[in-house]
Amino acid sequence: MEKSIINTNNAPAPIGPYNQSVKYGDMLFISGQIPMDPATGNLIEGDIKAETEQVMKNLAAILSAAGMDFSNVIKSSIFLMDMGQFAEVNEVYGSYFKENAPARETVQVAGLPRGVRVEISMVAGV
């Protein structure tokens, strides 16, 4: 199998030595996305729901660039600065999965890139 790099201008450019996603065979591994507007490079701040919405839009853009959508997601990981915001994040996240939601874990962490409060990564497949 061959690995291929999939990046899109419709999601934030990587802020380090990594790619937005890597496709290996029928699997797509998406790097963690933060609430950054790809058009401006600015972080969405203030409301955890708005932040989570931006993260999901970024993930949707990467999935689309790979010819996939949220129905292809097999596994996701949610990283939160404050588990007290779980319900709000879960509400937004859940709205993207109408049926057959993927496997998932949600963990509270001590810090995230650029001081954001939420980051989500995904694995998808065809």
The angle subtended at Cα 103 by Cα 97 and Cα 105, nearest 5°, is 105
Structural domain count of the chain: 1
Q: How many residues does the chain have?
A: 126
Mean pLDDT of 53-59: 98
Measured between alpha carbons, how far apart are the two ends of the chain, in Å?
Answer: 15
SS3 assignment for 59-70: HHHHHHHCCCCH
**pLDDT exceeds cutoff 90 at 1:** no
What is the dihedral sign for C-alpha 87, 12, 70, 29? negative
Q: What is the CATH number of the domain that holds 34?
A: 3.30.1330.40
Read off the pLDDT of residues 106-124 as tens digits, 9 standing for 90 and up.
999 999 999 999 999 999 9
Read off the pLDDT of residues 5-32 as tens digits, 9 standing for 90 and up.
999 999 999 989 999 999 999 999 999 9
Read off the pLDDT of residues 62-113 as tens digits, 9 standing for 90 and up.
999 999 999 999 999 999 999 999 999 999 999 999 889 999 999 999 999 9
According to the model, what pLDDT value does residue 89 have?
98
Host domain of residue 37: 3-125
Supply the pTM of this predicted model. Answer: 0.97
